[in-house]
Structure 1
């Protein structure tokens, strides 16, 4: 998951050390939520997510300061 989201890879030991450093813990749900509707999830993935993902703004070169325009 780390590789997919952040495009970096860590071994299991390194991941555990990062979690400990930030005082986080590894957690896994013990059971599936009763309210989970698999059909609704699949529908959302197929119909809604592609539109949400496509609507992201593209990165534009410029200054991160709002008061300073990008120099060209």
Structure 2
């Protein structure tokens, strides 16, 4: 039988189970594994009823992930490339575009909220592009600010003596 990797939650439960079997109290175990004392009481009941295997077999909470770690790594690698390389017209990643890339790569469609969560879990943060025209001429802007703008600014009235 193939050995599957244990989740962090399962590792905590097993550590707690070993501590309980060693005679430690629930409060002490809770502190040692970083969970609420009530959680340890629940685990103790499972341990008493089904042994250490009962702690290993607790089903994970929530809906199963639709993308595994390798698929998420592939998405991250794709997002580190230019959006233009993925057929988009500009150099800007949007939630809609990221969702389209995920669907293209793995055949899974996510809503924008979930795409946002996926990006956060991959270490990406929201960024706003600078709003400057591509055609902007920096020299012309600098000259205008130095010469034209000061001449246009209102000056305080000079009072006559």
TM-score by length of 2: 0.16
Q: Which is bigger in relative contact order (C-alpha 8 A, separation at least 6)?
A: 2
Structure label with greater radius of gyration: 2
The structure carrying a bigger helix percent of its residues is 2
TM superposition score normalised by structure 1: 0.33
